[in-house]
């Protein structure tokens, strides 16, 4: 049989174990209650937030035009639907259009105007590509920057709205074109992969009159007679300089050259047959 002391010791151990279990159970209950309270608070807060969001949800307004007025009742902005597409206009205090935004069949366009309501700049994205134009105080174009399928272009205009300078970048290389007062090209400077750097001069009919180029074979100067027919050509190749003269049909009739062996001269008839040479 167990002694009284042994039994008391066992009872004390059981009580201590029971207290530890009760303490762990209490802690678990406290954690569960705190979690429930937190979840309830979060759910309530979310419900309140969603309720507020639903209460503050903007209403959809459908119309064909909207007018924006300042505190004095002056019209400062207008958005409307037209036959060509939507238009948005923003006005200054004098009701002069300052900003215009439109979308039509050609594409979107943004226009900026001065205090007189004259357009000074517009940015558009058309089928041909994006373009930026700048205008003078009279509303005439002064500069235009565009990106076309062929490449980017920059154009400068005179006081009459005629293009006088054009810079184009194509696959073969950059080209600078100078136009006369009528907008016709008279000079072109380019750097191509075939002819290298070249300078071309045109007459008033836009016909090539002279061309100076530096291909891989050496520098060359061409002087045109009739349209598309070379009248004279001066070139410098590895063998030496040479001068060729052509008739009105573009056929070579005379050639003067200088090589290491000395000067030489050749003459041909209209059929291309050699008639005289020296030495």
Q: Residue 276: which pLDDT band, with cuts at 50, 70 and 90? A: very high
179 has a pLDDT exceeding 70: yes
- Distance between CA atoms of residues 125 and 109, nearest Å: 7
Percent of all residues in the chain with a pLDDT value above 90, rounded to a whole number: 52
CA 144 to chain centre: 12
Q: What pLDDT does residue 56 have?
A: 64
Percent of the chain with pLDDT over 70: 78
pTM here is 0.69
List pLDDT tens digits, range 213-265. Answer: 999 999 999 998 766 666 899 999 888 999 999 888 888 899 999 998 899 99
Q: Is the pLDDT of residue 97 over 90?
A: no
Taking residues 152-160, report their average pLDDT.
95
Predicted confidence band of residue 18 (pLDDT cuts 50, 70, 90): very low
Q: What is the pLDDT of residue 228?
A: 61
DSSP per-residue letters across the chain: ---HHHHHHHHHHHHHHHHHHHHHHHHHHHHHHHHHHHHHHHHHHHHHHHHHHHHHPPPP---SEEEEE-TTS-EEEEEEE-SS-EEEEEE-TT--EEEEEEE-SS-EEEEEE-TTS-EEEEEEEETTEEEEEEE-TTS-EEEEEEE-SS-EEEEEE-TTS-EEEEEEEETTEEEEEEE-TTS-EEEEEEEETTTEEEEEEE-TTS-EEEEEE--TT--EEEEESSTT-EEEEEEEETTEEEEEEE-TTS-EEEEEEEETTEEEEEEE-TTS-EEEEE-
Confidence of residue 21 (pLDDT cuts 50, 70, 90): very low
Judge whether residue 189 has pLDDT over 90. yes
pLDDT at 200 exceeding the cut of 50:
yes
Average pLDDT over residues 82-105: 91
As a whole number, mean pLDDT of residues 26-45 equals: 43
Instruction: Supply the mean pLDDT for the chain.
Output: 82
Q: What is the mean pLDDT of residues 46-59?
A: 55
Averaged pLDDT, 169-180: 94
pLDDT at residue number 121: 97
Burial class for 23, CB neighbours closer than 10 Å (0-12, 13-18, 19+): exposed
* 33 band by pLDDT with thresholds 50, 70 and 90: very low
Q: What is the mean pLDDT of residues 188-203?
A: 90
Q: Average the pLDDT over 263-273 and give the result.
A: 92
Residue with the larger pLDDT of the pair 210 and 28: 210
Measured CA to CA, the distance from residue 239 to residue 16 in angstroms comes to: 117
């Amino acid at each position: 049989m167990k002694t009284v002391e042994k039994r008391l010791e066992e009872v004390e151990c059981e009580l201590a174990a029971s207290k530890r279990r009760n303490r762990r159970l209490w802690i678990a209950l406290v954690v569960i209650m705190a979690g429930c309270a937190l979840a309830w608070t979060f759910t309530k807060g979310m419900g309140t937030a969603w309720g507020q969001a639903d209460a503050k949800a903007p209403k959809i307004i459908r119309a064909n035009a909207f007018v924006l007025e300042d505190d004095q009742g002056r019209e400062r902005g207008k958005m409307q639907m037209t036959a060509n597409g939507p238009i948005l206009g923003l006005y200054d205090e004098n009701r002069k259009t300052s900003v215009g935004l439109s979308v039509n069949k050609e594409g979107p366009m943004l226009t900026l105007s001065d205090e007189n309501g004259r357009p000074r700049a517009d940015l558009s994205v058309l089928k041909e590509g994006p373009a930026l134009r700048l205008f003078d105080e009279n509303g005439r174009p002064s500069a235009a920057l565009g990106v076309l399928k062929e490449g980017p272009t920059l154009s400068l205009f005179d006081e009459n709205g005629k293009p006088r300078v054009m810079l184009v970048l194509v696959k073969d290389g950059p080209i600078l074109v100078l136009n006369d007062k009528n907008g016709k090209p008279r000079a072109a400077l380019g750097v191509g992969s075939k002819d290298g750097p070249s300078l071309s001069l045109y007459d008033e009919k836009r016909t090539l009159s002279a061309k100076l180029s530096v291909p891989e074979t050496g520098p060359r100067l061409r002087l045109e007679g009739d349209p598309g027919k070379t009248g004279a050509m001066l070139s410098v190749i590895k063998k030496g300089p040479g001068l060729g003269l052509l008739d009105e049909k573009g056929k070579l009739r005379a050639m003067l050259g200088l090589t290491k062996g000395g000067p030489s001269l050749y003459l041909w008839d209209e059929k291309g047959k050699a008639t005289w040479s020296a030495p």
